[in-house]
């Protein structure tokens, strides 16, 4: 039984590190998109920046579909941490382009709870 528990902890640790790295990449990409007014639209003809932004949005969507609340909380916290002083810029961009997304909603909840403390 101990081996199974140890393997589970190792798996969870590796998963959280992967989620953390994904959060960092998403945060940096979204920050860049916000700073450069790049909008995610798949139907943007030959605008490669918008197509890339659409791909980033889709990755954000896929991550948000994780059914483990612990994972969603972790990536939301990490994205807020990585956004540092630009958290309002991150929240504004996410609201504008990904406002109905569960991960966005968790980021807002975590941001609000940190402001209260």
pLDDT for residue 29: 94
In this prediction, residue 20 carries a pLDDT of 93
Q: How many CB atoms lie within 10 A of CB 92?
A: 12
Three-state secondary structure call for residue 43: coil
Q: What pTM value is reported for the model?
A: 0.82
In the chain, where the domains are located: 2-116
The pLDDT value given to residue 44: 63
Length of the chain: 117
Predicted local distance difference test score (pLDDT) of residue 26: 95
Q: What angle do CA 87, 24, 60 make, to 5 degrees?
A: 85
How high is the pLDDT of residue 66? 86
Please say whether the dihedral angle defined by the alpha carbons of residues 7, 14, 63 and 75, taken in this order, is positive or negative.
positive
Over residues 59-78, mean pLDDT: 91
Spatial distance between the Cα atoms of 100 and 117, rounded to a whole number of angstroms: 26
Location of structure tokens 């966005």: 104
Model pLDDT, residue 30 = 94
- pLDDT, tens digit, 9 for 90 and up, residues 84-105: 888 999 999 999 998 889 999 9
In tens, the pLDDT along 15-68 reads 999 999 999 999 999 999 999 999 998 676 778 899 999 999 999 999 999 888
């Amino acid at each position: 039984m101990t081996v199974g528990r140890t393997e589970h902890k190792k798996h969870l640790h590796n998963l959280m590190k992967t989620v953390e790295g994904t959060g960092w990449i998403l945060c940096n990409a979204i920050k860049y998109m916000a700073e450069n007014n790049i909008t995610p639209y798949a139907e943007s003809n030959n605008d490669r920046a918008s197509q890339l932004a659409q791909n980033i949005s889709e990755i954000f969507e896929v991550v948000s579909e994780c059914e483990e609340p612990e994972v969603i909380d972790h990536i939301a916290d990490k994205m807020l941490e990585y956004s540092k002083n630009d958290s309002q810029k991150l929240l504004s961009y996410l609201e504008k382009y990904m406002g109905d997304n569960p991960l966005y909603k968790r980021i807002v909840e975590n941001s609000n709870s940190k402001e209260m403390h």
